[in-house]
Amino acid sequence: MTLIAKYVSITVELCRITTHPQYRQRGASNLTVNILRNYLAEHPFISSKRNDYEDWSRANTYMQKASCKINFELIASIKNNMNRNRKTFDWSHLT
């Protein structure tokens, strides 16, 4: 993840909130988020992380439009279905 971050000129932090390490992208401007989104659109994940990326991207779209207050519950429900909480997987990108 740090190599991708360096390549697209963004900063990520390695956090250890639980027993496993997590990467978090913090304090990024809309420009750097768009750079990351463009990179991941061109070089997508081929694991279940792609599902998380697509959800993150969708939630981020609401936040960039400054509609996060209006869509707070929708963004929260998207976030609550990510990572270990994911119950729905879409593997169509593998076909």
Query: What is the DSSP code string of 50-85?
Result: HHHHHHHHHHHHHHHTT-TTTTHHHHHHHHTTSGGG
How much is the average pLDDT of 58-78?
Answer: 80
Provide CB contacts within 8 A for 58, sequence distance 6+.
Answer: 78
| Statement: residue 78 has pLDDT above 70 | yes
Q: What are the structural domain ranges in the chain?
A: 44-88
Instruction: For residue 2, give the nearest of 61, 15, 92 by alpha carbon.
Output: 15
Report which secondary-structure segment, H or E, holds 22.
Answer: strand 22-25
How much is the average pLDDT of 64-79?
Answer: 78
What is the per-residue pLDDT for 71?
80
The pTM of the full predicted model, rounded to 2 decimals, is: 0.66
